[in-house]
Chain A
């Protein structure tokens, strides 16, 4: 229920419409929700189509069993603590959506730019999920799956499958969003169990027949520490940072202000652990085990194709799970992207902008690089949106202590808070420099980026508030 409320509200702010869900006001006490509402929502939302990709991709990057099992444990813990100590305290105190808070701080024009960036990122994320579903749809047609290193589509069959899946998802999102959202709620508990079933049933095929077999098999068969040819070598800190920052836009980036504004207490943010340890621990490990089984059967088959992997161990239910997992997450993602685009195409109908978003997602999905480089894309996605979360944090906790005003755009009536804009754009430019010139890997950019954005925003705010 919390997810629907938050999504409805955030959607309404994007378009300036009012659906009566407190888009431009604080949530009253009478509408606050209990812990269980958030628990179910997070557990369901993070068992998505992309989990089928991320687990195997870690295998391709040559991580070790320790890297994965401990790195994910600790990285996901940091994600939970980020929700708990960065996002939730502000959410519970202000009780407003991310978009409305950003508008009050940054001004309408800057929020429009943020919406556009968010919308484009949503499109590509949805595209990744379309690709995941297409791998299952293509099975009965013996479609050649794209390879790990493929940037361009490798067959007409792949293009047809992606376009078909993308078209159906887009049209249904445009016409029947609510029906698919309800279907997603129904599918969630089942999907989580399918992920678990995949992981358990494949273990004997890998040579695990007792508990003592697990660690040797994990090291020698699954996470061997040797990357697939053509892939970079990742280690503990890559896994740790990825797990922490996988949902960067939501916790440090403050997108989940829209969700936790309904929480009675700050500690309800610990409900995010349900999502992290179900989806980003169990599901990733299960998917990795499936991929390892595929490699064991044919070491030359390095394609990360969730459909065939799942079918080989759990049969037809696995194909359905892959399609449903991709679809049910692509549906709201395309819908949100469409709403973000309505900022630019104000006179377009909801149907039209959703189709536009779905089309962009489908075009992205045609290129296998979108899923094969999913770890990179997710990292960049979070990095692009994170600085605005830093702005919200500093604006709420630090500016008043420095004698400056919070929510400056609202207070002064401006449409662009240049301090916030500078914090966002300059941070990204500095990160680009660090990545290209200084060789800092993208997984490790987030921590310096946060501090860079914080400093720029404080200095910029001092300058504009002093001048005014």
Chain B
């Protein structure tokens, strides 16, 4: 379970920063970038508390 959550968390972090790189490269629109960042935020905050140490 922790491994799954950790994987999803890292996907969330990737979804937080990768879209901005794609925007910078002209590959992604800003609105899409905002949506993916929102999803990445949810993925991170839902799963990170499960495995992150105190």
Contacts and interface: CB of A to CB of B under 8 A. Distances in A.
Interface of A: 182, 185-187, 189-190, 193-194, 196-201, 203-205, 208-209, 313-318, 320
B52 A186 contact: yes
Contact of B16 (A186, A194, A199, A209): A194
Given A189-B13, A197-B16, A315 B34 contact: yes
B11 interface: no
Contact of B24 (A193, A203, A316): A203
Contacts of B24: 200-201, 203-204, 208
B41 A190 contact: yes
Given A186-B49, A190-B41, A314 B34 contact: yes
Interface residues of B, number: 24
Contacts of B33: 201, 314-315
Given A196-B17, A314-B33, A186 B45 contact: yes
Given A190-B13, A200-B20, 11 more contacts: A186-B49, A187-B45, A189-B44, A190-B16, A190-B44, A201-B30, A204-B24, A208-B24, A313-B30, A314-B34, A316-B34
Interface in B1-49: 12-13, 16-17, 19-21, 23-24, 26, 30, 33-35, 37-38, 40-41, 44-45, 48-49
A176 to B, nearest CB: 14
A185 B54 CA distance: 8
B19 A201 contact: yes
B23 A201 contact: yes
A450 to B, nearest CB: 38
A203 B22 CA distance: 12
Nearest to B35: A315
A190 B45 contact: yes
Contacts of A313: 30
Contacts of A185: 52, 54
Given A182-B54, A196-B17, A197-B20, A317 B40 contact: yes
B38 A193 contact: no
A413 to B, nearest CB: 41
Interface of B: 12-13, 16-17, 19-21, 23-24, 26, 30, 33-35, 37-38, 40-41, 44-45, 48-49, 52, 54
Contacts of B54: 182, 185
Contacts, number: 71
A193 B26 contact: no
Contacts of A187: 45
Given A205-B30, A316-B38, A317-B37, A193 B13 contact: yes
A208 B23 CA distance: 11
B37 A314 contact: yes
A39 to B, nearest CB: 15
A149 B35 CA distance: 34
Residue picked from B19, B37, B44, B52, most chain A C-beta under 10 Å: B37
A205 B29 CA distance: 11
Contact of A196 (B20, B26, B30): B20
Given A190-B44, A204-B26, A317 B16 contact: yes
8 contacts: A190-B13, A190-B41, A193-B13, A196-B20, A197-B20, A314-B33, A314-B37, A317-B40
Contacts of A209: 26
Nearest to A183: B49
B48 to A, nearest CB: 5
A189 B10 CA distance: 10
A185 B49 CA distance: 10
A231 B24 CA distance: 32
B53 to A, nearest CB: 8
B12 to A, nearest CB: 8
Nearest to A320: B41
A208 B20 CA distance: 13
B23 to A, nearest CB: 4
Contacts of A193: 13, 16-17
Residue picked from A187, A201, A316, A320, most chain B C-beta under 10 Å: A201
A213 to B, nearest CB: 11
Nearest to B30: A201
A200 B41 contact: no
